[in-house]
Structure 1
Amino acid sequence: MLSVKDLVVNYGAIQAIKKVSFEIHTGEIVTLIGANGAGKSTILHTISGIMRPVSGQVTYLDRQIQKVAAPRIVQAGISQVPEGRHIFPGLSVQENLQMGAFLRKDRRSIAQAYEDVYNYFPVLKQRRHQDAATLSGGEQQMLAMGRALMAAPKLMLLDEPSMGLAPIFINEIFDIIRAINAAGTTVLLIEQNANKALSIADRGYVLASGEIKLSGTGQELLANTAVQQAYLGG
């Protein structure tokens, strides 16, 4: 579905991503793990068109997209759930969800998308007329995920979905990620909680200093001594 090959991305004079290559197959959950500053979010921003690479290729469904504008990437079926959620305060829950469907025209399919989101996140239906800024952190994360789903993505990019959440919300968010994937959406997950990420991932890549250092199935990386010592507290 998605192939990243020899990707190089700079922040000013700093080379943040150094010839990174990886791939995602349709139906998978793939995770990128690594310390803060490793370059994980930069990779997501480059895939979604927010940043431009210096060199390298991003190929999605057999089409190179590294120079494609972000709205067209969303139209093609890639949606990003940003780190920090970035919901729209002053707008209701329903209005925030509506923003996720701004490129869609079919009213019937949009109506079905609302129902799908509310099935995943019943609390959002209960609070659909409430100002999104008044939601708890966990509810705002659900809203950010629901907003991305409103675009009917084939591939969802999740950037630190558990950051700052209470443990009860973390478990619920990861259960929902698995449910979204089981319903047919491919997932690329960036997550500081490496144990949780690898436990649900089909495959994973370990990123350090802008380079891929290790790769394997989620279970292989969970069992890897170097990964345990660096990221799992082992």
Structure 2
Amino acid sequence: MLTVNNLAVHYGVIEAIREVSFEVKEGEIVSLIGANGAGKSTILKAVSGLIRPSQGEIVYEGTPITTATPKQIVEKGISQVPEGRHIFSGMTVLENLEMGAFLRKDKNEVEKDLQLVFDRFPILKERKNQDAATLSGGEQQMVAMGRALMSRPRLLLLDEPSMGLAPILIKEIFHIIEEINRTGTTVLLIEQNAKMALKIANRGYVLETGNVVQTGTGEELLESDIIQKAYLGG
């Protein structure tokens, strides 16, 4: 579904990622794990069209999207939940969710999808008229995920969905990610919580200072001595 070949990204003279290659097959959850500064978020920004790679190719469903605009990429079926959630303050929960469907013209289907989001996140229905910026961190994460789902993505990019959340909410968010995947959405997950990310992943890639240094199934990486020592406290 998604293939990234020899990707490099520079911020001025700083090389953020270099010669990164990985793939995401339809129906999978693929996790990219690594420490802060490993280049995880940069990869997602490149896939989303928010930054331009200095080298390499990004192919989605057989079509190169390396130079596509963010709008074109959303239209193709890729949507991102950004790190830090980026809720629109001063707008209600409902208005935030509706922003996720801004490219869609099928109003009746948009309404159906809105109800599906409310079914998945009942607390958002209760608070649909509340300023989204006044919600808790966990609730804001639900808004950000619901907003992304309103574009009907076939591939959902999640950037640090557990950041800043209490442990009980982290479990809930990861349960929701699995549920979204089971209903047919492919997921590329960027996450510092390596244990949770690998537990739900079909496959994983480990990034260090801009390079992929290890890959395997989620189970294989969880059992790896190197991963245990570096990320799991083993």
Give me the TM-score of the superposition, normalised by structure 2: 0.99
SS of residue paired to 2:216: strand
1:224 matched to which residue of 2?
224
2:63 matched to which residue of 1?
63
State the 4+ residue runs in structure 1 displaced beyond 6 angstroms: none
Tell me the amino acid that sits aligned with residue 191 of structure 2.
Answer: E
**C-alpha separation in 1, matches of 2:100 and 2:4:** 26
2:196 matched to which residue of 1?
196
After superposition, the C-alpha distances for 1:158-209 in whole angstroms (9 at most, x for unaligned) are 0000000011110100000000000000000001100000000000000001
**C-alpha separation in 1, matches of 2:128 and 2:37:** 36
What percentage of aligned pairs have identical amino acids?
62
2:211 matched to which residue of 1?
211
Pairwise CA RMSD = 0.4
Shift of 1:135: 0.4
> Are residues 1:5 and 2:5 paired?
yes
1:42 matched to which residue of 2?
42
Shift of 1:120: 1.1
Shift of 1:115: 1.0
SS of residue paired to 1:133: helix
Shift of 1:78: 0.3
**C-alpha separation in 1, matches of 2:14 and 2:90:** 37
2:114 matched to which residue of 1?
114
Shift of 1:73: 0.1
Shift of 1:13: 0.2
SS of residue paired to 2:83: coil
**C-alpha separation in 1, matches of 2:11 and 2:33:** 20
Tell me the amino acid that sits aligned with residue 177 of structure 2.
Answer: I
Shift of 1:134: 1.0
After superposition, the C-alpha distances for 1:65-106 in whole angstroms (9 at most, x for unaligned) are 010000110010000000000000110000000100000000
1:72 matched to which residue of 2?
72
**C-alpha separation in 2, matches of 1:42 and 1:26:** 22
> Are residues 1:152 and 2:148 paired?
no
**C-alpha separation in 2, matches of 1:137 and 1:16:** 29
Tell me the amino acid that sits aligned with residue 143 of structure 1.
Answer: V
Shift of 1:55: 1.1
Where does the alignment leave 5 or more consecutive residues of structure 2 unmatched? Answer: none
SS of residue paired to 1:30: strand
**C-alpha separation in 2, matches of 1:94 and 1:75:** 22
Tell me the amino acid that sits aligned with residue 74 of structure 1.
Answer: V
After superposition, the C-alpha distances for 1:39-86 in whole angstroms (9 at most, x for unaligned) are 000000000000000110000010000100001100100000000000
**C-alpha separation in 2, matches of 1:116 and 1:21:** 35
**C-alpha separation in 1, matches of 2:15 and 2:133:** 36
> Are residues 1:51 and 2:46 paired?
no
**C-alpha separation in 2, matches of 1:98 and 1:194:** 32
1:26 matched to which residue of 2?
26
**C-alpha separation in 2, matches of 1:49 and 1:117:** 26
Tell me the amino acid that sits aligned with residue 121 of structure 2.
Answer: F
1:92 matched to which residue of 2?
92
Shift of 1:231: 0.6
Give me the TM-score of the superposition, normalised by structure 1: 0.99
